[in-house]
Structure 1
Amino acid sequence: MTHRPRKGVWLVGWDPEDEDAWERYGRRLARRNLVLSVLGEHIGFSVWTLWSVLVLFMSPDIGLGFDAGDKFLLVATPTVVGALLRLPYGFAVTRYGGRDWTVFATGILLVPTLLALYFVQRPGTPLWVFLIVAALSGVGGGNFASSMTNITALYPQRHQGWALGLNAGGGNLGVAAVQLVGLTVISVAGRTHPSYVAAACAPVIVLVALLAAWRMDNVDAVRAAPGTQREAARDQDTWWISLLYIGTFGSFIGYGFAFGLVLQNEFDAGPVDAVGYTFLGPLLGSVARPLGGLLADRLGGARVTFWNFLGMGAGTLLLLGAAEADSFALFVAGFTALFVLSGIGNGSTYKMIPAVFAGRAREEIAAGQDADAAFARARRLSGAVIAIAGAVGALGGAAIDIAFSLSYADGSGSGAPAFLAFLGYYVLCMVLIRAVHLRRRPVGHTAPADRAEAASHV
């Protein structure tokens, strides 16, 4: 990238590893695209998690008296759809470009938003209609994969932990934002106007789509060679990292969808209390995600993720104790800690992806392969793995919602069986990191961040 890429349908010749060009103009171009990518992902998360707020309004007061099982099903449905869409979304951005795909993926969010606005205050609407609308809201979950794949191509490897963490954290804030909107609606208009929550999303969707069309770029570096996702799917590291991401992002999004319902079932909290506490955890967890990426840049992704899972296990034990003691305050504090830790783990786990493939590229270069080709392949594979891991991790969120549904199904009002299952999975993730990543022989690096990553054997 010895000269500024030509402006047009695609920016040609983009190479973020060219330090001179990066300092002259690359950093500014990447930052502009990052800001708009965050906005697109943010509203995508808001629409994806819209039903985590709408179900808290559903009561006989507005002619929608669904039981706990129905409500958990409504929040699990968009989780599953969003997870399944992450693979095609991750591929689509490599074909259509960051700008074009962001415009489309943002604009299409109007469909489930307007449908929710129409149906959510129509008394007597059957459950199956809401399930269809909730499933359509799942398109918001796909935005994460396309956005992260695009940012991976825009930033040099040495800055990807920070950039990916900021991109994902800003997007994750959409969970807290829509819950804060729900709290505002309840406080101002009362608990009988859920349609106002959906109405607040619609103008934001239009604004973000227009900004993306105006200021984002398509860059050729994001293009993936045919079969890149298949190649990534055959790589065992893809699946090890995906299993870890179930524990981090699966926890974040699963808890984000279910927290309000858990408070209602565990402590008989009313809609005002449930919504009032649910936004804080996702807010702090989103803010913590860039911190996880930054810590991973400095200390190594595997090391940070290992200690993070240890903390999540301790937080889960705290929840079990709080539920046994019937302590609402301690329960909320424990859940908030889990949100923060899941956010840190999201950032550190995703940093492991480019680090693993960059390490392989250096090994290939040491064996005599062309440096540009090796690092270009590493970036393409990193983007494909981000889409796969994001899809698998989001399915973990659906598993959490289903676990809660089964746990509360017996009418005992206790989520202890679900929390014990989560605790077991966190321990499994610690064993996996120790066995697969922390036991690897370090690869020789030169940059300080790379040496730290090698010290963690990633």
Structure 2
Amino acid sequence: MSTVIETAPPVAAGQAPGKGRWIEDWRPEDADFWATTGKKVAKRNLIFSIFSEHLAFSVWVIWSILVVSLGTLTDPATGAALYPDLVANQANATKIFWLVALPNLIGAIMRFPYTLAVGRFGGRNWTVISALLLLIPVGLALYVVLNPGVSYGFLLFAAITAGFGGGNFASSMSNISYFYPERTKGTALGINAAGGNIGLSSMQLFMPLMLFMGLSLTFATAFWLPLVLASALCAFFFMNNLHVSKATLAQQFAAAKRPHAWVMSFLYIGTFGSFLGLAASFPATLKFVFPDDQKFDFLGTGLLLPIAFLGPLVGSLARPFGGWIADRVGGAIVTAVVFTLMAVCSFGAIAAASAKNLGMFITSMLVLFAMSGAGNGSTYRMIPAIFKRQADAEIARNPAAEEQLLGQSRREGAATLGMAGAIGAVGGFILPKVIGDSIKATNGIGTAFSWFIAMYVVCLIVTLTVYIRKGATMSRV
């Protein structure tokens, strides 16, 4: 029977790991090993990876709620706005959308070192560290709530630290990619990503729900502190480090020399960049585009947030479905369909906003979110498949180096997952900024969404040319 070989203190497979636990022998492609040992260990690590990543995503978009909530606060004595820069009007559009865009930019930057950290420190160890770092943005957000009237510059600083939450995704996906065999990797990565992505929806649902229940904004912000601590403890006690994931910086940077790593990173801007950017800006966009429509007012609070949470929710749920379909028909085909429908839905959003049809706008946005989520799953399925195909071609020329080449393909594929995640998250910064600039210049979103349509068309052309066109090296990957 296959066994897991671990460093001291030795622990049987499936038991709670001890401090410093490393798994030395990991062979997920070995059917016997996977059935007797690997699947159980991989599932356990996946569960607690999702928990940690879910909270990281929640913290990442905490400012999407705060910009709307703080903007409604007034001085009881004078009735003046406590945060005049956050009052939803055309003049403040750029300032408000900067606060929801900056965390995404910082999160994108943080994904590069976070990806490398898995190979340097181990997946379990880095999950603990990255979870504890989330205490900083939550603590600063709490300070802002407790000290009304702090400067706009301090708000920007506090929002920047929320970007720590964005880095967790890259390290989590890179880590989980080592645990699963190639045949189920798309589904596993889709589930891991979806569990994390739903954190966006959780923040946009539970914070306003707590406010409705009569709890203070202070409580609704501090609520996330014990959960973050719990995620760090769970990672410490129940996750593993894989020796196979260890890699030097040179080995990980080797992925940057692969042209397909850059092509997939660009496509991920179109899918994940859209998902993240639209999720972060959705509450404020609703507030600006439909300021007088009270049908979805949060029971008199002036917040349109109960509808906003549905966007990232459907996008998150669609992600594993996109990975599952991609496992069966190929990621490139799914990705091409996704970009086509995203362009169509963007036209629908423009028309609905122009007609002030809230129902049509929400419908268009929800389908757009769903397509972006499915595209996230399909593109992340394509990445390991691309590197596996490259390895197979190199093995055919040099069979003696099969083990080395397969190990290299796994490392480069994992590094590319992080690289694509980082570059794709830049879209999460660009989209809110474009929306904010569009609202300030035209008092509408038509200009912004027209640019998004152009981006989706370019992504579709790249997908068709590189990954579907007959004769392409990676055709139907």
Judge conservation of contact 1:308–1:344 (CA < 8 Å) in 2. yes
For the pair 1:217 / 2:240, whether they are aligned, the reply is yes
Structure 1: state its 5+ residue gaps.
444-453
Judge conservation of contact 2:350–2:446 (CA < 8 Å) in 1. yes
1:374 deviates by: 1.8
For the pair 1:115 / 2:140, whether they are aligned, the reply is yes
Partner of residue 231, structure 1: 254
Judge conservation of contact 2:68–2:303 (CA < 8 Å) in 1. no
Partner of residue 33, structure 2: 21
User: When the two structures are aligned, how many residues end up with a matched partner?
Assistant: 444
Match of 2:190 among 165, 182, 187: 165
Judge conservation of contact 1:54–1:194 (CA < 8 Å) in 2. no
Partner of residue 397, structure 2: 367
Letter in 2 for 1:292: G
1:121 deviates by: 3.9
For the pair 1:245 / 2:268, whether they are aligned, the reply is yes
Judge conservation of contact 1:302–1:437 (CA < 8 Å) in 2. yes
CA distance in 1, matches of 2:66, 2:189: 30
For the pair 1:204 / 2:227, whether they are aligned, the reply is yes
More displaced stretch, 65-74 vs 96-105 = 65-74
Calculate the TM-score normalised by the size of structure 1: 0.94
CA distance in 1, matches of 2:238, 2:72: 46
More displaced stretch, 364-373 vs 98-107 = 364-373
Partner of residue 393, structure 1: 424
For the pair 1:335 / 2:365, whether they are aligned, the reply is yes
1:107 deviates by: 1.1
CA distance in 2, matches of 1:440, 1:194: 56
Letter in 2 for 1:250: G
CA distance in 1, matches of 2:233, 2:422: 27
Judge conservation of contact 1:162–1:290 (CA < 8 Å) in 2. yes
CA distance in 2, matches of 1:197, 1:240: 41
Partner of residue 90, structure 1: 115
Letter in 2 for 1:245: Y
Deviation track 1:324-362 (CA, whole Å, cap 9, x = no partner) reads: 221011101111111111100000001010000011111
Match of 2:174 among 129, 149, 152: 149
1:168 deviates by: 0.3
For the pair 1:258 / 2:281, whether they are aligned, the reply is yes
Deviation track 1:411-439 (CA, whole Å, cap 9, x = no partner) reads: x3210000000000000001000111112
1:188 deviates by: 1.6
Partner of residue 451, structure 1: none
3-state DSSP of counterpart to 2:241: coil
Q: Judging changes above 3 Å, is the alpha-carbon distance between structure 1 residues 253 and 315 closer, same or farther for their aligned structure 2 residues?
A: same
3-state DSSP of counterpart to 2:6: coil
What are the within-5 Å matches in structure 2 for residues 17-96 of structure 1? 17-59=29-71, 61-62=73-74, 63-66=82-85, 67-96=92-121
1:195 deviates by: 2.7
CA distance in 2, matches of 1:425, 1:384: 25
Q: Judging changes above 3 Å, is the alpha-carbon distance between structure 1 residues 194 and 235 closer, same or farther for their aligned structure 2 residues?
A: same
CA distance in 1, matches of 2:110, 2:354: 39
CA distance in 1, matches of 2:124, 2:453: 41
Judge conservation of contact 2:193–2:319 (CA < 8 Å) in 1. yes
More displaced stretch, 226-235 vs 381-390 = 226-235
Deviation track 1:19-49 (CA, whole Å, cap 9, x = no partner) reads: 1101111000000000011111100001111
1:54 deviates by: 0.8
CA distance in 1, matches of 2:160, 2:457: 32
1:371 deviates by: 2.4
Percent identical pairs in the alignment equals: 39
For the pair 1:306 / 2:336, whether they are aligned, the reply is yes
1:59 deviates by: 2.2
More displaced stretch, 419-428 vs 268-277 = 268-277
Letter in 2 for 1:439: R
Letter in 1 for 2:62: L
CA distance in 1, matches of 2:420, 2:428: 13
Partner of residue 5, structure 2: 5
Letter in 1 for 2:4: R
For the pair 1:357 / 2:369, whether they are aligned, the reply is no
Partner of residue 288, structure 1: 318
Match of 1:378 among 409, 434, 438: 409
Letter in 2 for 1:433: T
CA distance in 2, matches of 1:390, 1:338: 19
3-state DSSP of counterpart to 1:17: coil
1:457 deviates by: 2.4
For the pair 1:403 / 2:434, whether they are aligned, the reply is yes
Match of 2:465 among 435, 438, 442: 435
Judge conservation of contact 2:394–2:405 (CA < 8 Å) in 1. yes
Judge conservation of contact 1:315–1:335 (CA < 8 Å) in 2. yes
3-state DSSP of counterpart to 1:3: coil
RMSD: 1.6
Deviation track 1:385-420 (CA, whole Å, cap 9, x = no partner) reads: 01110011100110001101110112x321000000
Partner of residue 203, structure 2: 178
Judge conservation of contact 1:154–1:221 (CA < 8 Å) in 2. no
1:17 deviates by: 1.2
Letter in 1 for 2:405: A
Judge conservation of contact 1:441–1:457 (CA < 8 Å) in 2. no
Partner of residue 376, structure 2: 346
Letter in 2 for 1:218: N
Judge conservation of contact 2:111–2:171 (CA < 8 Å) in 1. yes
Judge conservation of contact 1:78–1:135 (CA < 8 Å) in 2. yes
Partner of residue 448, structure 1: none
Partner of residue 423, structure 1: 453
CA distance in 1, matches of 2:177, 2:344: 33
1:441 deviates by: 4.1
Partner of residue 315, structure 1: 345
CA distance in 2, matches of 1:114, 1:188: 23
CA distance in 1, matches of 2:72, 2:54: 32
1:274 deviates by: 1.7
CA distance in 2, matches of 1:202, 1:3: 38
Partner of residue 127, structure 1: 152
